[in-house]
Structure 1
Amino acid sequence: MEDILRPIYQERASQPNTLGVLMIDQRQKASPLTDTFDIVLLIIVKESETPVYIKHYSYEQQKAALHIVSEEKLKEWMLLGTNRKIVEWLFNGKIIFDRNEYISNLKTELRDFPFYGRKIKIGLEFSKLIRRYLDGKAFFENRHYLDAYNHVVHSLHHLARLAVIENGFHPEVTVWNQVKQIEPEIFKLYEELINSEENLEKRLELLFLASEFLIHSRLKIGSEHLISIMAEKDQWSFNELQEQEEVIPYSVDLSVLIEYLSEKNILETVNVETKGHGLYHRYYRVPKKLY
């Protein structure tokens, strides 16, 4: 099928806006890596009115997907991890066209995993972890065990991704294979949740206890990105914080994260008087001991 697709990617490669072309083959039947397609063509362009354009093709008994992605959208995916397949595509795809070694440099950047990108990813995963953990705990305490189970599974997944990033790797589609090697303790928790013969209530009770310990052990690294931003001035209103460009990626979970960090004395709350009697504005700051 590659021969059939050649005119498509050759035409794109000839355009000055095209930065690179990758071909990803399906490595196993019904692979999640290629969304069940036999071949994926990834074309990265400098600029595009449509950040992501996708087209599907059929030839005899095979099917292919063409993905045209703007450089800006690609960088967003790489920074935020919102498209997990993209990392594996860049790592494992066959380079068909590479203007000024653009894709080769991207691969080097992914392998090096710059500290700046790692800090934001850790903050993002940690905030999602806290949200899922607290929501799951609330469901558990209200005896909604199936809803609690759903949130615990997600919280363990965020914990797994966090552990992978901490160790300097990008989380892949098959993140549990990575975690089994990197953090077997988290993998064992996941196995116990899925395979234990205990009743669901008991399984959840044990998982929340274990998760509390694992989350607490990551408080410092999980909050580091937010703390580094908040240390830039004495105190912040919530709205000021959520409008910070570097915080926007996890602003949806920011409120829960700030309250959790305040309870753990990682942040301090400051009451500022309003015109209303006994009513205060609530501000947040980093304790001086953390500077």
Structure 2
Amino acid sequence: MDLHLRPIYQERASDSNTLGVILVEKIDSVSPITDNFDTVLFIITKDNEKPIFTKHYSFDNNKKAVMHTITEKQIQKWLIVGYNKKIVDWLFYGKVLFDRNEYVDTLKKNLKNYPFEGRQVKLGVEFAKMIRRYEESKVSFDARDYFDAYNHMIEVLHHLARQTIIQQGRYPEVTVWNQLKGYNVEVYNLYEKFITSHKEIKERLLEIFDIIKMLIEESVEESAQHLLEVMKQKAHWSVQQLHEDEELNVYSVNLEFFVEFLVEKGYIEIDRIETKSPGVFHRYYTVKKK
């Protein structure tokens, strides 16, 4: 690590609130992992007034560094919902400069082993994203917006790849397709054929829609397990209660779409409760009993 940055790292390491300090350095001339900064200082804290705090530095005239101070709660949220995929690479490939009570080491081991509960949450989140993108692709296709349908399908395949890796008990990395080669050649070949085919985009989409539909059908029960287990804790739920539940907010904007999908598939039933307006009912959701 550059001597100019050492005092900054040492100051953070001496703070009792700091759990770990990781150094990530730019290797290639273009480095998406570091956002093209020469150095990333990744600081993990127990708590903070702001869950994400960032500072930029210049040193040695033309070099630049970034310091990200992020709370452990925020990191756990990102790891579940997949909003910041660089975090995984920073944890696995960065140099650990400080590790209070082996927090970073334990976090990395947990990611590699991927506990069952975490895997089920992650599966549900990726599946919810995938089915939304699949439906968006079909809608664009029916409207003859083939380029939009193609872009949505690429996203579907990315979520499918991540889901496949999670099913293998691994955590998806940024280079997900390279990672997938070792776990599922079938899905990898599906992606490769779709993007390299010389056929018209319309034909490629027609060929892949039914394949994706079949893969979705095969994984519904496993992917919905977390959502359904949470919902079994109450007799019925209003949509507002679903959104306010701490365990379900990881599904974010895809929650209602996922629930309606499971209604269509027969996993969730509708309870209708009368309102003051004749013929209008409150709509509540309950897990169908087997």
Q: Which amino acid aligns with 2:11?
A: E
Superposition TM-score, scaled by structure 1 size: 0.92
Once residues 212 and 189 of structure 1 are traced to their aligned partners in structure 2, the CA distance between those partners, rounded to angstroms, is 13
Once residues 251 and 12 of structure 1 are traced to their aligned partners in structure 2, the CA distance between those partners, rounded to angstroms, is 33
Query: 2:216 maps to what in 1?
Result: 215
Q: Which runs of 5+ in 2 are unaligned?
A: none
Given that residues 180 and 188 in structure 2 are in contact (C-alpha distance below 8 angstroms), is that contact kept between their aligned partners in structure 1? Answer: yes
- Name which of structure 1's ranges 165-174 and 98-107 shifts more when overlaid on structure 2: 98-107
- Name which of structure 1's ranges 213-222 and 61-70 shifts more when overlaid on structure 2: 61-70
Mapping 1:65-76, distance limit 5 Å: 65-76=66-77
Query: 1:15 maps to what in 2?
Result: 15
Given that residues 77 and 250 in structure 2 are in contact (C-alpha distance below 8 angstroms), is that contact kept between their aligned partners in structure 1? Answer: no
Mapping 1:119-268, distance limit 5 Å: 119-268=120-269
Once residues 167 and 232 of structure 2 are traced to their aligned partners in structure 1, the CA distance between those partners, rounded to angstroms, is 22
Deviation digits for residues 87-141 of structure 1, max 9, x if unmatched? 1211121111122222122222222212222221111111111111111111111
**Percent identity of the aligned residues?**
47
1:165 deviates by 1.1
Deviation digits for residues 66-104 of structure 1, max 9, x if unmatched? 212222222222233221111121112111112222212
Once residues 22 and 129 of structure 1 are traced to their aligned partners in structure 2, the CA distance between those partners, rounded to angstroms, is 32
1:61 deviates by 4.2
Q: Which amino acid aligns with 2:189?
A: K
Superposition TM-score, scaled by structure 2 size: 0.93
Once residues 252 and 111 of structure 1 are traced to their aligned partners in structure 2, the CA distance between those partners, rounded to angstroms, is 28
Q: Which runs of 5+ in 1 are unaligned?
A: none
Once residues 286 and 72 of structure 2 are traced to their aligned partners in structure 1, the CA distance between those partners, rounded to angstroms, is 36
Once residues 251 and 53 of structure 1 are traced to their aligned partners in structure 2, the CA distance between those partners, rounded to angstroms, is 23
Mapping 1:21-40, distance limit 5 Å: 21-40=21-40
Secondary structure of the structure 2 residue equivalent to 1:204: helix
Q: Which amino acid aligns with 1:244?
A: D
Aligned-residue Cα RMSD (Å) equals 1.8
Once residues 233 and 19 of structure 1 are traced to their aligned partners in structure 2, the CA distance between those partners, rounded to angstroms, is 37
Secondary structure of the structure 1 residue equivalent to 2:5: helix
Task: Report the number of matched residues.
Answer: 289
